[in-house]
Amino acid sequence: MDSYDVLVIGSGPAGVAAALRAADQGARTALVTRGAFGGMAANDGPVPVRTLAHAARLLREARQLGRYGIVTSEPVVDYPQLLDRVRQVVDEVRRRSAYRAQIDAAGVTVRDNAGMLRFVAPQVVESAGGTRLTARHFILCTGGVARRLAVPGGELAATHSDAWSLTAVPESMLVIGAGATGAQVASIFHAFGTRVQLFQTGPRILPTEDEAVSAAMAQAFRDAGIVVHEGLGAVESFEQAAGGIRMRYSRGQAHESAEAALAVLAVGWRADTADLGLDAAGVELDARGFVRVDAQLRTSQPHIYAAGDVTGRLMLVPQALHDGFVAATNALGGSMAADYSVSPVGSFTDPEYAQVGLTETRARAKHDCLVTVVPFDATTRTIIDGRTTGFCKLIVDRPSGQILGCHIVGERAVDIVQAAAIAMAGAMPVDRLAFLPISFPTYPGVLARAAASATRELRLGTDARSARMEHYPP
C-alpha cells in the first residue's frame, strides 16, 4: 500500500492548490482524482462555459459591425464546430494553465482518471480498481454536482453539462433557476438563437445580487427577448411532449405548464460526497450536506481537511484556490484562517453583472452610507463602443470614506469590479481611488467616475480636484 504525508482527493482548483502547497512544504504528496486533471472548473464549468460565453460575445460584437460601417452577412453558429473549439480550449487549459507543470515540477504524484476514491478506514482510501493508499493527512477537494429536482420526470431535464453532447443549438429551452449558472445558460443560448424561458422561485432573478442588479438584468433579458418568469411556485413534473419536454409548475394558486425542446436545471450545487465513504472516515456533514469545516478548514477528523465547493462556502475558483492553500498549510502544522472578506463575484452574461462587498440593503442596515450610481451611457468608452446599457453603483461609508460595496451591470462588469475589490482589500478610501489617473478611455472609467462623484459629494480632498475628476473622467 503506497503511503504519503498528504493525500489530496480531487484535482479541481482546490486540489491543485492544496497539492502544490503541501509539496512546497516538503511533504510527500499525492493528488488523486476520479476524472481528468483540472476538475469541474477546467473540464465542465467555468472554462468551457466561458468559451461558449465568448462565442456569444463574438456574435454580439459581429451584430454591431453594420453600425460601424462594416458590411457582412448575419453570423450563424455552427454548434459542432463551436464544441470543437471548446474541446481545444479545455485541452489547452489543462495542459498549460491548470498548474499542471508546477505540480509535476514540485514532485507531486498525480493519478488522474483513477475512478472514485472512497475511505475504507480513517487513514485508508481505496480506488475503484481496488488500489489502497494511506496517508498521515487527507485533503478533500471533491467539489460538487448539479442539484436535481425530485419530481416526476425529473430525470428528463438536462443540466449545463449536457451542452457538450448537443449536436445543434436547440430551438427552444426552459432554464429552471436563475442564479449564476441559469442566467449564463439562458444568456448564451439566447445569443445562439434559442427561444429561452427562464424560471426563478422567489421574487427576483439573481437573488444574491444587489436588488438594482437583479432588476436591471431582468429588464435587459426581457428587452433582448428572453421570457423571464419570476415568482415561480414549485416545479411539479416534467414529461415528454411532441416538441421535446413539458414542465408543469405552480404559481400562486395557479397550475401552469411550459414546453420546449430542452429543459435545463440550474437549481443549485450540492457536495459530491455520496460515494466517498465519509462514515468510514468519521467525517461529518453539515445540515446542507456539505463537509463541515472550521475556520482553518479542518473537518471533524483532525487529520482530514476539506477545501473548495465540497465545503459549500463561496463556490468560486479563486476561493477554491485559497482554500486549498489554507488547508495544506494547516494540515502541515500551520494555523491560517480562510479569509473571504473581499470576494468579487460576477458572470459572463449579456450584459455582464458583477459585485464586491455589501449590497445597498445590507450596507444601509449597518452604515451611514452614500450611494452613487453612474449610468453606462454617461462615460466615454461605453459610448465609443456602443455599450451604453448598465450602471456602476458605488457604496461608501460616509464617516470613513471606505468603499463598502460596488455593483455593476454592463459591458466588462466583471473586469471593472476587480479594481473596486483591490481598492477595498487595500482599504483605499474613495478619494484615493478617485485621484488615481485611470487610463482614458477605458471601462474602469465608470468606476473612477463613481468614485469622483462620491468624493465630491463627501467633500473629501480638494473641491477643485474632485470636481475636475468628476467632469473629465476616463
Distance separating alpha carbons of residues 207 and 178, to the nearest angstrom: 8
- Strands (E) in 317-470, as ranges, are 345-347, 353-357, 369-375, 391-397, 403-409
Task: Measure the CA–CA gap between 128 and 114, rounded to whole angstroms.
Answer: 7
Q: Does 196 bind ligand NAD (CB under 6 A)?
A: no
CA 300 to chain centre: 28
Select the binding partner of residue 207 from ligand NAD, ligand FAD, none (C-beta < 5 to 8 A, by kind).
ligand NAD
Total length of the chain = 474
158, three cell numbers: 438536462
- What ranges in 155-258 are assigned the alpha helix state H? 180-191, 211-224
Q: Which residue's CB is nearer to ligand FAD, number 15 or number 461? A: 15
How near is the Cβ of 280 to ligand FAD at its closest, in Å?
13
Paired strand residues for 472: none
**Preceding omega of 399 cis (within 30 degrees of 0):** no
Q: Quick one: which of 6, 7, 15, 249 contacts ligand FAD (CB under 6 A)?
A: 15
φ/ψ of residue 213, rounded to 5: -70, -45
Q: Considering CB under 6 A, how many residues would be counted as binding ligand NAD?
A: 25
* Per-residue buried b or exposed e for 306-328, using 16+ beta carbons within 10 Å of the residue's own CB: bbbbbbbbbbbbebbbbbbbbbb
Residue 182: contacted member of ligand NAD, ligand FAD, none (CB under 5 to 8 Å, by partner type):
ligand NAD
For the beta carbon of residue 78, count every other beta carbon within 10 angstroms.
11
Element (H, E) at 462: none
| CB nearer to ligand NAD: pick between 313 and 456 | 313
Contact pick of 29, 33, 201, 442 for ligand NAD (by CB under 6 A): 201
**CB 185 → ligand FAD: shortest distance, Å?**
8
Q: What angle do CA 99, 101, 102 make, to 5 degrees?
A: 65
Q: How many residues bind ligand FAD, per CB under 6 A? A: 34
Does residue 207 belong to the site contacting ligand NAD (CB under 6 A)? yes
Q: Is 176 in the site for ligand NAD (CB under 6 A)?
A: yes
Grid cell listed for 283:
467525517
Interacting stretch for ligand FAD, rule CB under 6 A, among 187-195, 226-234, 311-319, 460-468?
Answer: 311-319
Q: Which is nearer to ligand NAD, 157 or 434 (CB)?
A: 157
Is 181 near ligand NAD (CB under 6 A)?
Answer: yes
Q: Which of 17, 55, 315, 421 binds ligand NAD (CB under 6 A)?
A: 315
**CA 330/CA 405 separation, integer angstroms:** 31
Does 232 sit near ligand NAD (CB under 6 A)?
A: yes
| Distances, alpha carbon 340 to alpha carbons 230, 322, 416, in Å | 30, 9, 19
CA angle 134, 138, 144 (to 5 degrees): 120
Task: State yes or no: 268 annotated in a binding site.
Answer: yes
| Cell, residue 29 | 504528496
269 binds ligand NAD (CB under 6 A): yes
Please work out, in degrees rounded to the nearest 5, the angle formed at the alpha carbon of residue 368 by the alpha carbons of 365 and 372.
Answer: 100
Is residue 78 part of an annotated ligand binding site?
Answer: no
The verdict on 39 binding ligand FAD (CB under 6 A) reads: yes
Q: Does 267 bind ligand FAD (CB under 6 A)?
A: no
Residue 9 touches which member of ligand FAD, ligand NAD, none, C-beta under 5-8 Å by kind: ligand FAD
Residue among 41 and 374 whose Cβ is closer to ligand FAD: 41
Q: How far apart are CA 195 and CA 172, in angstroms?
A: 4
Q: Does 180 bind ligand NAD (CB under 6 A)?
A: yes
Q: Applying CB under 6 A, which part among 141-149, 257-265, 418-426, 447-455 lies near ligand FAD?
A: 141-149
Rounded Cα distance between 134 and 393, Å, is: 52
Which is nearer to ligand NAD, 51 or 200 (by Cβ)?
Answer: 200
User: In this chain, which of 49, 228, 416, 420 binds ligand FAD, going by CB under 6 A?
Assistant: 49
Site residues (vs ligand NAD, CB under 6 A):
149, 176-182, 184, 199-202, 207, 232, 235, 266-269, 315-316, 346-348
Site residues (vs ligand FAD, CB under 6 A):
9-15, 33-35, 39-41, 45-46, 49-50, 116-117, 141-143, 160, 181, 272, 276, 308-310, 315-318, 320
